[in-house]
Amino acid sequence: MTVLTRASQELFSRQDDECFPSLDELAVHCRRVRESSQDRWERPGQVTLTSDLNLAVGDNPDLVLNGWSFSQLCRLAGVPKDTLNRLSPKTASRVLQETLPRGEKPWQILTADNTVRSIHGVNYTRLWNDELLTMLQEFAPDFQPPPKANGGACGLYCGEQDLFCFLIDPLGWTEIDGETFAPGMFVWNSEVGRRSLGIQTFWFQAVCQNHLVWDAVEVVEFSRKHTTNVRDGLDQMRALVVDLVRKRGHRQDAFVKVVRKAMRETLGDGAEEALAKVLEAGIPARLAQEAIESAQRQGRLTIFAVVDALTRMSQRVFYAGDRTELDAKAAGLLALAA
In a domain, residue 112? The reply is no
Q: 21 and 131 share a domain?
A: yes
Q: 127 and 231 share a domain?
A: yes
In a domain, residue 115? The reply is no
> Would the pLDDT of 225 be above 80?
yes
Q: 18 and 144 share a domain?
A: yes
In a domain, residue 319? The reply is yes
> Would the pLDDT of 70 be above 70?
yes
Range of the domain at 323: 252-338
pLDDT of residue 252: 44
pLDDT of residue 268: 67
Could you count the other beta carbons within 10 Å of the beta carbon of residue 140? 22
Q: Which residue(s) pair with 188 in the sheet?
A: 164, 198
Distance CA 224, CA 222 (A): 7
Average pLDDT over residues 234-261: 76
pLDDT digit string, tens, across residues 160-170:
999 999 999 98
Which of 250, 284, 311 terminates a domain? The answer is: 250
Average pLDDT over residues 288-302: 75
More confident residue, 96 or 264: 96
Rounded to the nearest integer, the mean pLDDT of the chain is: 85
Q: 188 and 161 share a domain?
A: yes
Give the count of domains, the chain: 3
Q: What angle do CA 268, 274, 275 make, to 5 degrees?
A: 165
- Closest to 140 (Cα-Cα) out of 6, 255, 238: 238
Distance CA 97, CA 272 (A): 64
Q: 290 and 145 share a domain?
A: no
Q: 132 and 264 share a domain?
A: no
Distance CA 155, CA 178 (A): 28
> Would the pLDDT of 287 be above 50?
yes
pLDDT digit string, tens, across residues 96-141:
989 988 888 899 999 998 999 999 988 999 999 999 999 999 999 9
pTM beyond 0.85 = no
pLDDT of residue 79: 92
Find which of 240-244, 276-280, 310-314 is predicted with most confidence, using mean pLDDT: 240-244
- pLDDT confidence bin for 302, thresholds 50/70/90: confident
pLDDT digit string, tens, across residues 18-65:
999 999 999 999 999 999 999 999 988 888 888 889 998 877 778 999
More confident residue, 165 or 179: 165
Q: 24 and 148 share a domain?
A: yes
Given a contact cutoff of 8 angstroms between Cβ atoms, the answer to whether 169 and 182 are in contact is: yes
In a domain, residue 116? The reply is no
Q: 168 and 31 share a domain?
A: yes
Which of 250, 284, 301 terminates a domain? The answer is: 250
Q: 174 and 315 share a domain?
A: no
Average pLDDT over residues 216-226: 89
Q: Which residue(s) pair with 199 in the sheet?
A: 187, 222
More confident residue, 227 or 258: 227
In a domain, residue 185? The reply is yes
Q: 4 and 62 share a domain?
A: no
Least trusted range by pLDDT, from 77-91, 135-149, 234-248, 250-264: 250-264
pLDDT of residue 325: 64
Average pLDDT over residues 243-254: 68
Q: 134 and 199 share a domain?
A: yes
> Would the pLDDT of 186 be above 80?
yes
In a domain, residue 109? The reply is no
More confident residue, 177 or 319: 177
Percentage, residues of the chain above pLDDT 90:
50
> Would the pLDDT of 72 be above 90?
yes
Given a contact cutoff of 8 angstroms between Cβ atoms, the answer to whether 202 and 217 are in contact is: yes
pLDDT of residue 255: 63
Percentage, residues of the chain above pLDDT 70:
83
pLDDT of residue 309: 77
Which of 250, 275, 290 terminates a domain? The answer is: 250
Q: 242 and 186 share a domain?
A: yes
Alpha helices in 67-225 (DSSP H): 67-77, 81-85, 89-99, 129-139
Given a contact cutoff of 8 angstroms between Cβ atoms, the answer to whether 223 and 236 are in contact is: no
